[in-house]
Amino acid sequence: MDLRHMGCHAVEGLECTTCKISSCCHPYMKTPVSYYDAHKKKLKEKYLKEDKKKGMFFLDRFHDGYCIYFDRKFSCCSLEAERRPTSCLVFPVRLKEINVGMVSEKRVILNMKCPSAIPMAEALIAGDKSVIQYIKTAVKLFEEDTSYAQFVLNNTKDFVVTLDLGSFGEWRSE
């Protein structure tokens, strides 16, 4: 799967490294990495901290809290897209499970805490093909890394402000 169109600076308006609130690279968040992702992308074990209770690794941080792979000079990830963890590639796209009557449905959402979510939503409304492709690829990545997808589903219940983009099935590529 070609991932060059995913992650920071890949889509106009998606400037995840400028975020001072909740960016994955900045000190405010722990970046989850599934066992599948760590193995498949051959991430260096010395940069992964295991949390057996959550069934995930988390990327190590520099002493000031920034992600170990954050390149300050270029204000972006130092890993090429194919080696970046799924969590870094798909943000602010997330999954959320909602109950519709007696049926549980998986939904694709944007975490509106991310400053890039509003420009992405506006571009999506305008029919921007790069944003549509970004979201479709995010859905494919969730399908590929099911343990990370489940981790996301378990941890989006408390998101206060989200934008629902539709059912998971509607975003699957043909």
For the chain, the maximum distance between any two Cα atoms, rounded to a whole number of angstroms, is 51
Same domain, 64 and 102: no
Residues 81 and 96 in one domain: no
Range of the domain at 27: 16-86
pLDDT tens-digit profile, the chain (174 residues): 555 555 554 555 455 544 544 455 665 677 889 999 999 888 888 899 998 888 899 988 888 888 888 887 877 778 887 888 888 888 888 999 888 788 888 999 998 877 778 888 888 899 988 888 888 888 988 999 999 999 888 888 777 788 899 898 888 865
Boundary (domain end) residue, out of 86, 120, 146: 86
Are 97 and 153 part of one and the same domain?
Answer: yes
The answer to whether position 113 is within a domain reads yes
CA distances from 15 to 5, 25, 58 (A): 13, 12, 22
Give the chain's domain count: 2
141 and 75 share one domain? no
* 33 closest CA partner among 157, 151, 158: 151
Cβ atoms < 10 Å from Cβ of 107: 20
On whether the pTM is more than 0.75, the answer is: yes
| In a domain? residue 7 | no
Does residue 55 share a domain with residue 23?
Answer: yes
